[in-house]
Amino acid sequence: MESILQVDQLSKSFGKIKAVNQLSFKVGKGQVFGILGPNGSGKTTTLSMLLGLIPPDKGEFSWFGQPPSKESRKRIGSVIESPNFFPYLDAVTNLQIVADIKDKPYDDIDEVLQLASLYERRFSKFRTFSFGMRQRLAIASALLGKPEVLILDEPTNGLDPQGIAQIRELIALVASRGTTILLASHLLDEVQKICTYVLVLRNGVMLFSGDVKEVLSVSDSIEMAAADMHLLKTAVPELPGFSSITETDGIIQVHFSSTVKTSEVNAFLYQKGIVLSHLSEKKRSLEQHFLELLQDTP
Amino acid sequence: MIKLLRIEFKKIRSYKVFWILISLYFVFLAAGILLAEFMINHMVNNINSRMPIPFPHVAIYYFPDVWQNVTFFASIRYVLIFPAIIMIILIANEFTYKTIRQNVINGMSKTEFLISKLLIILLMAGVMTVILAAGAFFIGLSHSGFNEVDFFSKGVPFMMGFFISLICYMVYAFFCGFILRNTGLAIAIFTLYSLIIEPVIYFFLRAPFMFKNTIYTYLPVNSVIRLTEYPAIPMLKKLMGLNLQDHVSFVACLIPIGYAVIMTGIVFWVMNRKDL
Residue A143, helix vs strand vs coil: helix
Shortest CA gap B272–chain A (Å): 8
Q: Averaged in consecutive runs of 10 residues, what is the pLDDT profile of chain A (298 residues)?
A: 89 92 92 90 93 92 93 92 91 95 93 92 94 90 93 87 87 89 88 87 86 65 85 85 80 79 85 86 67 59
What's the pLDDT score for residue B183? 94
Enumerate the residues of chain A whose CB falls inside 8 A of the CB of residue B97.
84-87
What's the pLDDT score for residue B63? 80
Distances (CA, A) of A93 to A124, B11, B15, B41, B100: 10, 8, 12, 51, 16
ipTM of the modeled complex: 0.85
Shortest CA gap A94–chain B (Å): 8
Instruction: Name the residue of chain A whose CA is nearest to B90's CA.
Output: A86
What phi and psi, each to the nearest 5 degrees, are found at residue B25? Answer: -55, -50
E-assigned strand segments in chain A = 3-14, 17-28, 32-36, 58-63, 76-79, 149-153, 180-185, 197-202, 205-211, 220-226, 242-248, 251-256, 276-283
What phi and psi, each to the nearest 5 degrees, are found at residue B29? Answer: -65, -45
What's the pLDDT score for residue B248? 75
Contact A86 B16 (CB under 8 A): no
Enumerate the residues of chain B whose CB falls inside 8 A of the CB of residue A129.
none
Q: Which domains does chain A have, with CATH numbers?
A: 3-215 (3.40.50.300), 218-296 (3.30.70.100)
Residue B71, helix vs strand vs coil: helix
Query: Cβ neighbours of residue A51 under 8 Å, at least 6 residues apart?
Result: A73, A76, A78, A80, A151, B104, B105
Enumerate the residues of chain B whose CB falls inside 8 A of the CB of residue A100.
3, 6-7, 10
What's the pLDDT score for residue A298? 45
What's the pLDDT score for residue B234? 64
What's the pLDDT score for residue B111? 94
CB atoms within 10 A of CB A49: 25
Enumerate the residues of chain B whose CB falls inside 8 A of the CB of residue A99.
none
DSSP string for A195-244: -SEEEEEETTEEEEEEEHHHHHHTTEEEEEEES-HHHHHHHGGGSTTEEE
Q: Averaged in consecutive runs of 10 residues, what is the pLDDT profile of chain B (276 residues)?
A: 92 93 90 86 83 77 83 88 95 94 93 96 95 90 72 81 94 96 95 94 77 77 83 64 68 91 96 86
